[in-house]
Copies of this chain bind each other. A is one copy, B any other.
Amino acid sequence: MLPSRSGINVVYSSVNLPQLHSPYLICGFPGSGYVGKLAVDHLIHELDAKHLADIYSTSFPPQVVIRADGIAELMKNSIFYSNGAASDTNLLILTGDSQPATPESEYLLAEEILDIAAKFDAQKIFTLAAYVTGVFVDKPRIFGTATDADIIKSFHEQNISTMDGGSITGMNGLIIGIAKLRGMNGTCLLGETSGYVVDAKASKAILESLLSIVGITIDMTNLEKRAKDTEMLIQTVEQQVSGRVLESQQPTTPGKTATNTGYIS
């Protein structure tokens, strides 16, 4: 029983696929300071999203991870769905343990994920990433890039700073780039973060930005609590690094194009 030619194996929870109406696909991959992953983990929890499928790949690290109860599991990505509980907006939400280990496998996994999205006629794809600056900020800005001019135009009213150069490597970039070839559209939102800590504050900011676009409201309490914990952690780190609290950066005017001075991953 070999995996498909791409080395990828999708295992659905059920033979019956759920009915979804024009769902958005939201991807929060591990890596990138976990900015995207924390955001989608919180979204899955608050929406009580249901498990759709697990994705296994010969390109994930060849190992099993052992849980606290002693059970061993392969590395995988997972897709969840939400179709009506909290809003008319339907969502497919992807997260996971790992990104693929080779560049070629990243392309193949992106294709497979978009194949699953296409089964449900998903048209609008979002990836959540980190904009790493090496500096701690009080109010993380949200940066954006997209496959279509219409989406770029909408950034200003959403307080998203449009990027004007650079690149986005890995799954966060490939998923939207390949979506464009398939006639879908893709948006990558990047939360400003130092890169030194797991930053729940940046996750909260990016999630608020996303929810505003897709028209969903959820309880942010747990994430806000994690955000405050992160704020205290940042202050502790800053004091250790420099002996004093760093001044916050002056925020750029929302909507203005941001020059690409940061590091995206």
A interface vs B, CB < 8 Å?
A: 1-3, 5-7, 9, 11, 56, 58-59, 61-74, 101, 103-104, 106-108, 111, 114-115, 118, 144-149, 152, 155, 162-170, 173-174, 176-178, 180-182, 186, 188, 257, 260
Contacts and interface: CB of A to CB of B under 8 A. Distances in A.
Contact of A149 (B71, B148, B166): B71
Contacts of A2: 5-6, 108, 111
A195 B177 CA distance: 33
B71 A148 contact: yes
A72 B146 contact: yes
A62 B174 contact: yes
A258 to B, nearest CB: 10
A231 B156 CA distance: 43
A58 B170 contact: no
The complex is assembled from copies of this chain, and their number is 4
A210 to B, nearest CB: 17
B173 A64 contact: yes
A147 B72 CA distance: 5
13 contacts: A2-B6, A58-B104, A58-B108, A63-B173, A64-B145, A65-B166, A66-B145, A66-B164, A69-B164, A70-B146, A73-B177, A74-B178, A101-B103
Contacts of A169: 61-63
A49 to B, nearest CB: 23
